[in-house]
Amino acid sequence: MNRSKISLLFTLVAMLVVGGASASGQTSAPAKPKAPPEAQSAAPNTAGAGEQQDLAAADLRAIKKPPLPAFHPQQPKRIQLDNGMVIFLLEDHELPLIEGSITMRGGGKDEPADKVGLESIYGNAWRTGGTKAHTGDELDDALEARAAKLETNGTPLATFLTISCLKGDFDYVLDLANDLLRHPEFRQDKIDIAKDAVRTGISRRNDNLGQIAGREATKIGYGAQSPYARVPEYSTVAAVTRQDLLDWHAKHVQPNNMIVAFTGDFDSTALEAKLRGMFAGWPKGPEVPRTNVPIPPPKSSMYFVAKDDVNQSEIRMIAPGLRRSDPDYPAVAVMNEILSGGFASRLFSNLRTKAGLAYAVGGSVSAAYDHPGLAILTIGTKSGTTAKAIDGLYTEIDRMYTGGVTQAELQLAKDAILNSFVFEYDSNEKVLAARTNLEFHGYPPDFLERYQKAVEGVTVADVDRVAKKYLDKSKFSVLVVGKAADFDKPLSTYGAVTAVDITIPKPRSPAGATSAASNPEGKALLAKVIAAAGGAPKLDAIKSVRRKSSLTLKAQGMTLETEQTEVGTDKIQVKLNTPSGEMIMVATDQGGFISMAAMGAPRDLPSSQRDTFLQGLRYELWSVARHANDPQYAFTAQGKEKVGNIEASVLDISGGGDQLRWFVDPESGRVLRSQFQGDSPTGPATQVVDFSDWKTVDGISLPFHSELSANGQPSASVAISSYEFNPAVDDKIFARPEK
Amino acid sequence: MRRYPAIFTLTFILGFWASHGLAQDVASFEKRTTVKVLKNGLTVVLCERPEAPVFSFFTIVDAGAVQDPQGESGMAHMFEHEAFKGTDRIGTTDYAKEKIALAKVEEAWAAYDREDRREVGRDPKKVDELKAAFDKANEEAGKFVIKNRFGEIIEREGGVGLNASTGMDSTQYFYSFPVNRFEIWAYLESSRFRSGVLREFYKERDVVHEERRLRTDSNPIGKLIEQYMAAAYTAHPYGRSGVGWPSELDHLSATEAAQFYKKYYVPSNAVIALVGALKPEQVMPIVEKYFGAIPAAPRPEPLTTIEPEQFAERTVTMRDKSQPFYIEGYHRPDDRDPDDAVYDVISDLVSEGRTSRLYRALVRDKKIAAFAAGFSGLPGTKYPGLFSFFAVPLPGHTPQEMGAAIHEQVERLKNEDVSDEELQMVKTRAKANLIRGLADNQGLAIQLAGAQLRYGDWRELFRSVDRIDKVTKADIRRVSNKVFVASNRTVAMIENEPAPAAAPAAGSAQTQKETH
């Protein structure tokens, strides 16, 4: 089997089928930091100290354990250009490959709260959106033909550009990378695909127990709106514009904000000269300010998320953690090893092996490089042992808190950390990644050497001290995701329970939120549309409209005669001539109903359908035109896209919680297409309306034909026979019949 | 023992990459790799990679969930968990006494299980008594156990990545060690399979059942995939749950596990690959000393069951609160079939990256899916498995749309030749991916062990790329027309059925909307 087959097997099959692994992979042992080579002294040969006595102890003592051969991996060469760019180069001639990364500070935690998801969309569309000279698709073709990788990726802390190729292709790929850095295009079609990816993630985020628990635990720890916890919503994704991505790029892709790192089969001197030639002339940009995020004080509350279609509970216990630079960190690392470091740790041995309560149990007091981490302990247990598992975790927290770590446990934990230290730098890629990481966070280059020395010196008293500080039951909140009806005890046994509603907000953004800024091109385009339609005074004079049409429903293959009467943006009545008689549908800001003789009493119009009607009113050309000078509305031109044979100008309209896109004929100023997110019978859908057959009525230019589609599937066509402006409308037609 | 001369016959790759300097590397790969078959039949593949003073290993046992005896689904996986429980010397304070106590556990379990499952005349009081006796026997046996001693030794000595996994086809064990622990490794891994003790079996069964709840019962896609495979197979054990059907899992016994071990964990039925800073002249004698002591036994009989030809399309529809998902599969031959490389090419062509056909059609152009791919490997590859296509719909799109769009691409494979550029891209990528995989000890050990076990020669790792290079456009059409037909298809999908209004919360809950 080739490697791509293997990797597919591992990513897909391993995820889909029973993997069956003994769960050390599930226990999420704390990430051990990288070590510098100097730290590699002879690994302490302490096996035996404090071991429990079995015959294996003697067997192991009898086995010769030669000292680990001296090992001094090569260190990367650090170069700093005058413009501030930092470059690391590390030769590795084992294989004819070159791998590299460019790290740019600034990530998801720095994006505005009403545009959460921006960094993820940016990191995706940067590469897929191509450069001024090449579309993203052209780059894909060119790179894949060489089996080369050039990718960009947005994360909470930084954006990464990564390169991997055969050495013979390196100059070519590096030139493309440079083009991408300097001349990105962020084509709109790829922004849309990037947004689709985020929207898919939103729609699926409540399908998996562990994902719910992880997300909500982080919100509990940092606060739901914290940049370290918040998640994208449909509205925040919709609010992101191409201009946002261009602005983000201009701000962050500056030589003084970048770390460039390469390892592989190259000559460092030659590559340094090449990179200097490529980047030295790039002027330094303004400093990117670092966001400081406040961390809320700990709470001790019980939270519950209802999930009724499962037979297992996911439990999280959450408290504040620490920074990696904290002097407590080495002792905390040893404590974590004792608590949950592996097979022999307390959580694994007591809650899994001894009690049989869980397959996945673990967690740690975590230490992030740039902000305090969280202490999160986790266990997944059958619904009927939920309380037992909570008690189990509490017991283990208390056992650490009240002291009593033995010398044997301490020695085992230190041995495990120190004897495996060589794996922190057993490849050039790891050495380079560690060095880049320390540079990124402004840590001293010998940080890991100091850490290793500090671990060697950790005592039982140190562990007892940090356990008191970080494993204090009164600072832990508890989160349970599961099926309450099957729990062994109600959660209220533990105190007041806060139910967390994880319902995903519908695609429309909250009313009043403006999310984008107009650009002059957008304003001009709107002005052109208004002028072409007959001018602002004429449009403004429209208070009510009545129109008659033939509506053809594609799926049903049925054509119905309709009459539609609308007043402002909050009242609409639609009369439909159906084979079973006249059907009347009314939607207003107060409610809505459907009535039909054959149906008996009128029924409520489902709220999603009512929303769809009212959305339609707000998206009428004359309704939009009224907001031309409304500071709460943004009109943003987004480049060109083809509609039929016409290269249309794209205009994004946002305001009042609405998001609408028009495709405008730049010649005539006509709106050829309107596109927006709406509900469909299968869930949220992209609705597209294509207009044609323009005629003028009372000096207003109007389309008499439209074709509708939802998610690319044609749904209906409308042939309009008449428009009537400002007809007399009796308000009673919007009132629900009494009987 | 080197079974082949040092000159390697990988002319394809030598020629192709000569300009990149890989020729020397591949030749050196041959020089650096040694195969030894011990007298007891155990095969050891050793590849020297002296870059850092560490090594990784991968032990692959040619028995997976397919070998679970009838009524004992989940046994191969259960045994894998038990292989972390130590030996007669590791993890026990007094094995002589523990052995007697464990025998009593088995007697108590058999008595309890027999009474509990009695179809007529089951006596609940007696069941309770027998259960109490069983619990007591477990408690007694537990007194001799030093918990997780096996894993503790590995961790203390600096081992990382300790784990194992059980597939339909095989079971595998792996981790990495500092190179000066080689003899400790040989001691641990040989005794694990020579004198392993099935202790704490019944608690571990509970752990495994939790694993089932995690991966299958409480995971919509896990649940669907179990049904997908059950629907695709009528006779072959590929259709059974690998983690075990709940009722069977809860009745596995250590006695049955011992029988499974005796039959399948024999040296001739396993391959160990070692990769790292190891010199054969130093380590092979140690391997001989420790692993040579495992008694020889005949290889188990091959499986008799062959899945009958599918003649009717099968569809599984799961209506669920979770978001829609679509997967379909077609029966294909096993991985030793001459056309195996053709399936590799098709998989790459439709799946790999943004130039792939499914990405371009479903994600880029139709904008109906977030992700789509086609692959072999479910349920396994050792016996005739499935070639599956799947797609993750965008919000608002249905699984049926995924099926229709996938079928358009399948029809293209059947009716149109792929372009020269596409085919060349796939072949170039196969070679590059092979090279990328050579620089990682654990990854390399996985591939060498797999190739050695399945094909009797680790060089198959390179030959598979050679065979990919020989695949023609006509091959792709021929295989697609043969296999991708409706009567050979099984479809499984999740249709979203929205949840009713949120249920009221438990206990004295007050509702709060995501403001914590």
What are the pLDDT digits (tens) for A529-565? 999 999 988 998 999 999 999 988 887 788 889 999 9
The amino acid sitting at B193 is F
CB contact under 8 A, B433 and A3: yes
- Are B436 and B46 within 8 A, CB to CB? no
- Are A188 and A242 within 8 A, CB to CB? yes
Res. A291 pLDDT band, cuts 50 70 90: confident
How many Cα neighbours within 13 Å face the side chain of A661? Answer: 23
> In angstroms, rounded to a whole number, what is the distance separating the alpha carbons of residues B72 and B254?
12
**What's chain B's Rg over C-alpha atoms?**
26
Residue among B145, B160, B181, B513 with most chain A CBs within 10 A, to mutate: B160
> In angstroms, rounded to a whole number, what is the distance separating the alpha carbons of residues A402 and A518?
60
Res. A508 pLDDT band, cuts 50 70 90: low
**Does residue A712 sit at the B interface (CB-CB below 8 Å)?**
yes
Beta bridge partners of A652: A636, A661
Mean pLDDT of B381-399: 96
> In angstroms, rounded to a whole number, what is the distance separating the alpha carbons of residues A119 and A123?
6
CB contact under 8 A, A140 and B353: yes
> Two tokens at B89?
């010397």
CB-CB neighbors (< 8 A) of B22 in chain A? 95-96
- Are B206 and B311 within 8 A, CB to CB? no
Is the model's pLDDT at B34 over the cut of 80? yes
Q: Contacts by B424-427 with C-beta closer than 8 Å and gap 24+?
A: B424/A145, B425/A144, B425/A145, B425/A147, B425/B355, B426/B345, B426/B348, B426/B349, B426/B352, B426/B468, B427/B345, B427/B468, B427/B469, B427/B471
Please give the pLDDT value at position A399: 96
CB contact under 8 A, B367 and A684: no
Please give the pLDDT value at position A680: 63
> In this complex, which of A19, A200, A498 lies closest to B510 when CB atoms are compared?
A498
A 606-645 residues inside an 8 A Cβ radius of B: none
Residue with the two structure tokens 């001691």 = B187
User: Measured at the alpha carbon of residue B514, what is the angle toward residues A313 and B319, in degrees to the nearest 5?
Assistant: 50
Least confident of A533-547, B6-20, B262-276: B6-20
Please name the residues in contact with A322: beta carbons below 8 A apart, sequence gap of 6 or more.
A328, A329, A332, A365, A367, A372, A373, A470
Closest CA to A615 of A687, A698, A694: A687
CB contact under 8 A, B506 and A497: yes
Count other Cβ atoms within 10 Å, centred on residue B304: 5
Query: Angle at which helices B95-116 and B254-264 pack, to 10 degrees?
Result: 110
Count other Cβ atoms within 10 Å, centred on residue A135: 16
Q: What is the pTM of this model?
A: 0.79
> Two tokens at A275?
């990179």
DSSP state at residue A74: P
B301 burial type by CB count under 10 A (0-12 exposed, 13-18 middle, 19+ buried) = exposed
Please give the pLDDT value at position A615: 84
CB-CB neighbors (< 8 A) of B395 in chain A? 199-200, 202-203, 683-685
CB contact under 8 A, B440 and A712: no
Mean pLDDT of B64-75: 97
Count other Cβ atoms within 10 Å, centred on residue A10: 15
Please give the pLDDT value at position B207: 94
Mean pLDDT of A239-255: 96
Number of CB pairs, chain A paired with chain B, less than 8 A apart:
441
Mean pLDDT of A340-362: 94
Is the model's pLDDT at B265 over the cut of 70? yes
CB-CB neighbors (< 8 A) of B430 in chain A? 2-4
Please give the pLDDT value at position B511: 37
Is the model's pLDDT at B497 over the cut of 50? yes
- Are B513 and A501 within 8 A, CB to CB? yes
CB-CB neighbors (< 8 A) of A303 in chain B? 516
Chain segment A387-424, per-residue pLDDT in tens: 999 999 999 999 999 998 999 999 999 999 999 999 99
What is the spatial order of strands in the sheet that B325-331 belongs to?
B314-320, B489-496, B325-331, B386-393, B369-378
> In angstroms, rounded to a whole number, what is the distance separating the alpha carbons of residues A564 and A604?
19
Please give the pLDDT value at position A516: 59
Do you know the residue count of chain B?
516
> Two tokens at A652?
């994004």
Please give the pLDDT value at position A11: 34
> In this complex, which of B159, B320, B378 lies closest to A16 when CB atoms are compared?
B378
Question: Could you please report the per-residue DSSP string of B450-465?
Answer: HHHHHHS-TTHHHHHH
Q: In chain B, what is the straight-line distance between the N-terminal and C-terminal CA atoms, in Å?
A: 65
Is the model's pLDDT at A45 over the cut of 90? no
Name the range with the highest mean pLDDT among A293-297, A616-620, B21-25, B135-139: B135-139
Please name the residues in contact with B291: beta carbons below 8 A apart, sequence gap of 6 or more.
B38, B40, B42, B44, B186, B189, B190, B267, B272
CA A713 to chain centre: 28
- Mean confidence (pLDDT) of chain B: 91
Mean pLDDT of B157-163: 95
CB-CB neighbors (< 8 A) of B190 in chain A? none
Beta bridge partners of A722: A548
> In angstroms, rounded to a whole number, what is the distance separating the alpha carbons of residues A159 and A233?
21
Res. A88 pLDDT band, cuts 50 70 90: very high
**What's chain A's Rg over C-alpha atoms?**
31
Mean pLDDT of A178-192: 96
Please give the pLDDT value at position A296: 85
Query: Angle at which helices B149-156 and B182-194 pack, to 10 degrees?
Result: 170
Mean pLDDT of A560-588: 88
> In angstroms, rounded to a whole number, what is the distance separating the alpha carbons of residues A174 and A181?
10
Please give the pLDDT value at position B2: 29
Beta bridge partners of A24: none
CB-CB neighbors (< 8 A) of A488 in chain B? none
How far off is chain B from A307, nearest CA to CA, in Å? 9
Count other Cβ atoms within 10 Å, centred on residue B121: 7
> In angstroms, rounded to a whole number, what is the distance separating the alpha carbons of residues A345 and B151?
10
Specify the 3-state DSSP secondary structure of A93: coil
Rounded alpha-carbon distances, angstroms, from residue A2 to A730, B376, B418, B443: 74, 12, 21, 12
Instruction: For residue B217, give the H/E element and its range.
Output: none
Percent of chain B past pLDDT 90, that is, above it, reads 86
Mean pLDDT of A427-434: 95
- Are B40 and B295 within 8 A, CB to CB? yes
Is the model's pLDDT at B8 over the cut of 50? no
DSSP state at residue B440: -
Chain segment A110-144, per-residue pLDDT in tens: 999 999 999 999 999 999 999 999 999 999 999 99
Please give the pLDDT value at position A588: 87
Chain segment A8-39, per-residue pLDDT in tens: 333 333 333 333 333 333 333 333 333 333 33
Instruction: For residue A448, give the H/E element and its range.
Output: helix A447-457
- Are B252 and B77 within 8 A, CB to CB? no
Mean pLDDT of B394-417: 96
Rounded alpha-carbon distances, angstroms, from residue A554 to A411, A558, A575, A585, A679: 73, 7, 19, 20, 17
CB-CB neighbors (< 8 A) of B464 in chain A? 1-2
Dihedral angle computed from the Cα positions of residues B342, A20, B201 and A400, in that order, rounded to the nearest 10 degrees:
150
Pairing of strands A544-553, A558-567: antiparallel
Is the model's pLDDT at B62 over the cut of 80? yes
Mean pLDDT of A651-668: 87
User: Measured at the alpha carbon of residue A403, what is the angle toward residues A401 and A405, in degrees to the nearest 5?
Assistant: 115
> In angstroms, rounded to a whole number, what is the distance separating the alpha carbons of residues A142 and B65?
43
Residue with the two structure tokens 């990816």 = A197
Count other Cβ atoms within 10 Å, centred on residue B39: 9
Helices first, then strands: H and E counts in chain A: 22, 27
> Two tokens at B198?
């099935």
Least confident of A15-24, A650-659, B192-201: A15-24
Res. A634 pLDDT band, cuts 50 70 90: confident
Please give the pLDDT value at position B17: 39
CB contact under 8 A, A415 and B450: no
- Does ipTM surpass 0.85 in this model? yes
